[in-house]
Amino acid sequence: MVTVGARPFPYTFEPATAALLVIDMQRDFLEPGGFGESLGNDVSQLRRTIAPTAALLAGWRAAGLPVIHTREGHLPDLSDCPPAKLARGAPSMRIGDPGPKGRILIRGEYGHDIIDELAPLPGEPVVDKPGKGAFHATELQSLLDRDGIRSLVVTGVTTEVCVHTTVREANDRGYECLVLADCVGSYFPHFHETGLEMIAAQGGIFGWVASSSDVLAVLP
């Protein structure tokens, strides 16, 4: 067992039953010309997460621990995209429209893939998800069950949307989630801060919050 200094109290996990979850670090969210920017967001807000996540990935992999990546996106015929998701907001481009990095948020397109800096290594699972939560309509639960994973160290974007939804789903399924503040990000800094507070409030109602350096310090 190792213990990480965290909010609201130290987080203890067994490395053999822990996985690092990297949520939606895709060009569509982090680079200009993708889904995030089409919704009017300043994508540069998310870029501070890249360097600490890359350093954490390096340390986590060096410790021989499992990494799981996720990508939000839809089938080319949009059959897995709820009409409400397609219609919502006032985007300059809608999901499925052609953009500078390919069709917006469509599986197989350049923009849908993970940014070069955090590219998955061969053998690391990449879970494609149509929703905000990584458990909804995906194989994530069976992957975790297969490997006996009980603890999730959570990184990715965005704090209050896909990270939060996934942590809430995981919490209800009995996983213990540690969210790393420097490795998650939002287009809205105040949502980021409040989102982290919401996780750790009420005695850790959804989980724990720490920083990547806290985890790197205790890796075997």
Please, what is the minimum distance in Å from the beta carbon of residue 174 to ligand C5J? Answer: 23
Residues 6+ apart with CB under 8 A from 3: 10, 11, 12, 218
Is residue 199 within 8 Å of 174, Cβ to Cβ? no
- If the CB atoms of residues 162 and 179 are measured against ligand C5J, the closer one turns out to be 162
- If the CB atoms of residues 21 and 161 are measured against ligand C5J, the closer one turns out to be 161
Please, what is the minimum distance in Å from the beta carbon of residue 167 to ligand C5J? Answer: 12
By CB under 6 A, the residues from 129 to 148 that bind ligand C5J are 132
Is residue 190 within 8 Å of 52, Cβ to Cβ? no
- If the CB atoms of residues 20 and 161 are measured against ligand C5J, the closer one turns out to be 161
**Could you give the C-alpha distances from 49 to 27, 121, 127, 128, 203, in angstroms and in order?**
13, 19, 20, 21, 26
How many CA within 13 A on the CB side of residue 98? 0
Please, what is the minimum distance in Å from the beta carbon of residue 60 to ligand C5J? Answer: 21
Q: Is residue 24 annotated as a catalytic residue, yes or no? A: yes
By CB under 6 A, the residues from 49 to 88 that bind ligand C5J are 72
**Which residues here bind ligand C5J, judged by CB under 6 A?**
24, 29, 72, 132, 157-158, 161-162
